[in-house]
Amino acid sequence: MIEFNDLKAQYRSVKASVDARIQAVLDHGQYIMGPEVAELEGKLAAYTGAKHCIGVASGTEALLIALMALGIGRGDEVITTSATFVATVEVIALVGATPVFVDIDPATSTIDPQAVKAAIGDKTRAIIAVSLYGQCADMDTLNAMAAPRGIAVIEDGAQSFGSTYKGRRSGNTCAIGCTSFFPAKPLGCYGDGGAIFCHDDALAQVCREIRIHGQSRRFHHTRVGVGGRLDTIQAAVLLAKLEIFDDEIARRQAFGARYLAAFAGHNLLELPMISADRTSVWGYFALKSPNRAAILDALAAAGVPSGVHYPEPMHLQPAYKDKCRVAGSMTETDRWSAQVFSLPMHAYLTDDVQDRVIAAVLAGAGSA
């Protein structure tokens, strides 16, 4: 059976190390904020080059804590992309701010900096750039436009941990980086988990306090917080998986390159473009086609799992359509949601399996 993301094969390859790490937690019994959490934070900070890493309960919690730490709330606007998973937008609404949606760059499916520039106004407090499918957005253009105006740039790097932007790791591309360790993400644990990255000491301290009910010391609450800790057992799993992570990224990138080569030049398949100053960890291998329905049928008939990430953009979702502002045209976002689909992508693919996926896509896409 072909897996969309083969977590069982991954576990087999890292079992001894994961089992030993989990057993160590069971032996010491510090399930909440045990030593593995700090060990992981140190390793992830070193990995990304960010000064601080704060382990949290999920990617959603990372984004929520980041917005809370920046003091963003009612009356504020946060510019972001509608081409994302709902969590990016949900947190903006949760703090009481207004999501402002701008269009994407069709080549990378990431936020279009020129559209951001046109949308900036007096109420703009932050920009959330999503590193969709594993590739960062044009972060330095966003950073340069935000800095003189006192606007914070946040990276939603839930799909991109391990990728690089101008040699910097995802998470270390702007004022605050957020990521997710949901099992299916490039670096995943065996439950929920996430992390926040930043350089600013004061901001890191505020995030640490918000993570644990806004406390500066036990039972003393200096600010409103959340129950947002990362479990010790999940940190232990991540420490084990981190040992094979770079190797897994290399394998994902080789399979990504193979997909790109197989589909190159097909006029009914629009391939993802990886910008020359970036790498992708292929959180998803997503491409577009006007023949999506036929391709998905051909994949299903061949027993190949596929996905659509995502079928309905956020500016049209019932929960957000009346609570957001749409700034400018959404032509590319609308076309993206109508045409995009994703193929099996993980480090445990084989050339043979990938060839079956490729054949089904080409059969469904029709003649070039």
Ligand X SMILES: *Cc1c(COP(=O)(O)O)cnc(C)c1O
Tokens for 355, please give them. Answer: 């060839």
Residues 20-59 that bind ligand X (CB under 6 A): 58-59
- Choice between 29 and 227, CB closer to ligand X: 227
Q: How many residues bind ligand X (CB under 6 A)?
A: 15
Whether the link from the prior residue into 259 is cis, omega within 30° of 0, is: no
Minimum CB–partner distance for residue 164 and ligand X (Å):
18
180 lies in the binding site for ligand X (CB under 6 A): yes
Minimum CB–partner distance for residue 184 and ligand X (Å):
8
- Choice between 314 and 326, CB closer to ligand X: 314
d(CA 160, CA 183) in angstroms, rounded, equals 14
Length of the chain equals: 368
159 lies in the binding site for ligand X (CB under 6 A): yes
- Choice between 88 and 124, CB closer to ligand X: 88
By CB under 6 A, name the one of 99, 177, 188, 194 that touches ligand X: 194
85 lies in the binding site for ligand X (CB under 6 A): yes
Burial class (CB in 10 A: 0-12, 13-18, 19+), 334: middle
Minimum CB–partner distance for residue 130 and ligand X (Å):
5
The answer to whether the beta carbons of residues 196 and 62 sit under 8 Å apart is: yes
The answer to whether the beta carbons of residues 268 and 364 sit under 8 Å apart is: no
- Choice between 60 and 164, CB closer to ligand X: 60
160 lies in the binding site for ligand X (CB under 6 A): no
Instruction: Give CA separation, 329 vs 98, 117, 272, 353, in Å.
Output: 18, 13, 21, 40
By CB under 6 A, name the one of 182, 259, 336, 348 that touches ligand X: 182
Minimum CB–partner distance for residue 55 and ligand X (Å):
12
Per the rule left: phi > 0, alpha: psi between -120 and 50, beta: everything else, 186 is alpha
Residues 6+ positions from 220 with CB-CB distance below 8 Å: none
134 lies in the binding site for ligand X (CB under 6 A): no
110 lies in the binding site for ligand X (CB under 6 A): no
| C-beta nearest to ligand X: residue | 59
d(CA 226, CA 211) in angstroms, rounded, equals 6
130 lies in the binding site for ligand X (CB under 6 A): yes
User: What proportions of the chain, in percent to the nearest 5, are helix, strand and coil?
Assistant: 40, 20, 40
By CB under 6 A, name the one of 88, 110, 135, 279 that touches ligand X: 88
Instruction: Give CA separation, 252 vs 19, 137, 255, 256, 344, in Å.
Output: 24, 20, 5, 6, 11
Residues 56-75 that bind ligand X (CB under 6 A): 58-60
Residues making contact with ligand X (CB under 6 A)? 58-60, 84-85, 87-88, 130, 156, 158-159, 180, 182, 192, 194
